[in-house]
Amino acid sequence: MSTQERRTLAQFTKVELRKAAGDHLPVVDEMFDGVFANMYLHHAPELLATIKEMARTLKPNGALCTTNLDTHDHEWQREQIADL
Which percentage of the chain shows pLDDT scores above 70? 90
Identify the band that residue 84 occupies on the pLDDT scale cut at 50, 70 and 90: low
Sketch the domain layout of the chain as residue ranges.
3-81
pLDDT digits (tens, 9 = 90+) for 40-71: 888 888 989 999 999 999 999 999 999 987 66
- Taking all residues of the chain, what is their mean pLDDT, rounded to a whole number? 86
Q: Is 82 left (phi over 0), alpha (psi -120 to 50) or beta?
A: left
Best CA proximity match to 71, nearest among 47, 50, 41, 36: 41
Which CATH number is associated with domain 3-81? 3.40.50.150
| pTM listed for this prediction | 0.72
